[in-house]
Structure 1
Amino acid sequence: MTTESLWTYRAGVFGDESLSVIGFDVEATDGKIGSVDEESNVVGDSYVVVDTGFWIFGKKVVLPASTVTRIDPQERKVYVARTKDEIKDAPEFDDATYKASAYRDDLGGYYGRFPVI
């Protein structure tokens, strides 16, 4: 998977440009992991920041747009193609650096090694 495609929504997943997913629940392949705290819909640089709440002690995680498989506006849910453990083991979120290219490269290297589901 190329770096740009990692940070791009899959075809048909994000069709409504006016839709904000902030506040939507996030479902991994094996259950709920939290809710969307922040989003970016910039072409080639799209992602969601998920507040995991109690699941991993109030931490946040960044999920590249390519991990999102479906958005359900009626249920207010975002579905991702990663397990809870895969998300938990991702590079540590840091408020000060999560938008920096070095962190994004680390995150891209981590998520880029998984097969596209």
Structure 2
Amino acid sequence: MSEGVNLWQFRDTSGHTAGTDLIGFHVEAVDGPVGKVDRLSEAMGSQYLVVDTGPWIFGRLVLLPAGTVIRIEIGEQKVYIDRTKDDIKHSPTLGVEDTDRGPDFQDRYALYYSPFYGGRRF
């Protein structure tokens, strides 16, 4: 897909600006809604969204690296991502250790998401 995507940084074209509160925004995959933003990390080099999928996949929390975000519509309160609902459904489960951002935190998600972006691990 898109080469040169840094998984852990919002794309320049996403419309994200530092300090924008995305919590509660609806998240839209290319083929429909996947949930709402529950948490957000804006730490440099480790930007991501934690999305509550609600009843869609039994209230599972999923982590989406910021590089998956293609557009943010503030007025609509929506975040658009470049992944499908199926991609999200099969993503790694967000574990308790992930909230602490342990040493293997990014590697675990990069292994899953990097093949969508030409196999490069960013």
- Summarize deviations over 1:75-98 as a string: whole Å, max 9, x none: 000000000111111111113334
* Paired residues of 2:38 and 2:49 also in contact (CA < 8 A): yes
- Summarize deviations over 1:1-59 as a string: whole Å, max 9, x none: 67x92101111324422311000000001100000000011121100000000010000
| Matched residue SS, 1:78 | strand
Aligned residue pair count: 115
Q: Which moved more, 1:86-95 or 1:7-16?
A: 7-16
TM-fit CA distance, 1:101 = 2.8
Match of 2:8 in 1: 7
Q: Supply the distance in 1 between the matched residues of 2:78 and 2:20 (Cα, whole angstroms).
A: 12
Q: Supply the distance in 2 between the matched residues of 1:85 and 1:100 (Cα, whole angstroms).
A: 27
Q: Which amino acid in the other structure matches residue 103 of structure 2?
A: S
Mapping of 1:40-51 within 5 angstroms?
40-51=41-52
TM-fit CA distance, 1:61 = 0.2
TM-score (norm 2): 0.86
| Matched residue SS, 1:93 | coil
Match of 2:74 in 1: 73
Structure 2: stretches of 5+ with no match in the other structure? none
Structure 1: stretches of 5+ with no match in the other structure? none
Match of 1:84 in 2: 85
TM-fit CA distance, 1:106 = 1.4
TM-score (norm 1): 0.89
Q: Supply the distance in 2 between the matched residues of 1:41 and 1:83 (Cα, whole angstroms).
A: 23
Q: CA RMSD in A?
A: 1.8
Change (3 A) 1:53 1:108: same
